Amino acid sequence: MKIRSIRTVIAPAVAVVIALAAWEVAVAITGVRAYLLPGPLEIARTMWLNSARLFDASIQTAMAATIGFVIATGIGIVAGSVIAAVPVLRRALYPLATILQMVPLVAVAPLLVIWLGFGLPTAIAAATVVAIFPVLAATIDGQVSVDPGLREIFALHGASGWTRWSKLDLPASIPNIVTGLRISAGLAVIGAIVGEFVSGYGGDDAPLGIVVMSAMREARTDLVFGAVALCAVVGFALFGLVSFVGWVLVRRWHSSAVDPSGEKS
């Protein structure tokens, strides 16, 4: 690993350690009650004692977010490609999609419960709904901005619409799509957790959203913090995976390729 890469990893890690240490010291000095603000060590101890439950919860939430993200990716790329290819659809649907994106997910989530019931499908649907727009918008932007000169090369050789899409429009828009997917990855986890909040399901294998809600009702602030930390871990893992795949896809040809350590390749 290059020295710059090591610095890129170490610098934020040191910042996190310092922040946690400051938090621990502040809690110890001020004597604030643990049910209001537990220290990081207390949170870590709680996470350790509840590791099996939290692990299962993380898997549940990660599954809902990932399935929702995959569905959103498929719908976003297909719908985005169709909308990009048909100007009249672009004029008709793009503003509508933008307006729908403005509707808060928290307000829509109860509708999903009405339609899909309590349980995993609602969490998946919530993740899908919130993750679609960035992929859709990125796909449209990427495909309408394909270099006209490259299109002429395909026109000169009499390429069909499908050939041009599969060999030019889609590959040319991959950098845009990857950018959209990175945004969607984070949103999918948020969507899944909101879906879990409103659909309240679980029992022994309750997802992180339900763990947060039940721990809150029991005034287990340390457990709330632990579950929230794992929500961030799930989000970061999905974001990291998407970033890595995107980097692999475009690293050899596109200047936007940023490796997972944050450096331009």
Note the residues at the interface with another protein (CB under 8 A).
147, 149-150, 152-159, 163, 167-168, 171-172, 174, 250, 252-254
Would you give the distance in Å from CA 76 to the centre of its chain?
A: 14
- Residue 106 structure tokens: 């928290």
Complex with another protein: residue 28 or 150, whichever CB lies closer: 150
Complex with another protein: residue 172 or 183, whichever CB lies closer: 172
The least distance separating another protein from the CB of residue 191, rounded to whole angstroms, comes to: 31
Complex with another protein: residue 99 or 156, whichever CB lies closer: 156
Rg (CA), the chain: 22
Amino acid type, 207: P
The least distance separating another protein from the CB of residue 161, rounded to whole angstroms, comes to: 13
The least distance separating another protein from the CB of residue 178, rounded to whole angstroms, comes to: 13
Complex with another protein: residue 119 or 171, whichever CB lies closer: 171
Complex with another protein: residue 70 or 172, whichever CB lies closer: 172
The least distance separating another protein from the CB of residue 167, rounded to whole angstroms, comes to: 8
Q: What residues does 258 pair with on adjacent strands?
A: 264
The least distance separating another protein from the CB of residue 56, rounded to whole angstroms, comes to: 41
The least distance separating another protein from the CB of residue 152, rounded to whole angstroms, comes to: 6
Complex with another protein: residue 51 or 163, whichever CB lies closer: 163
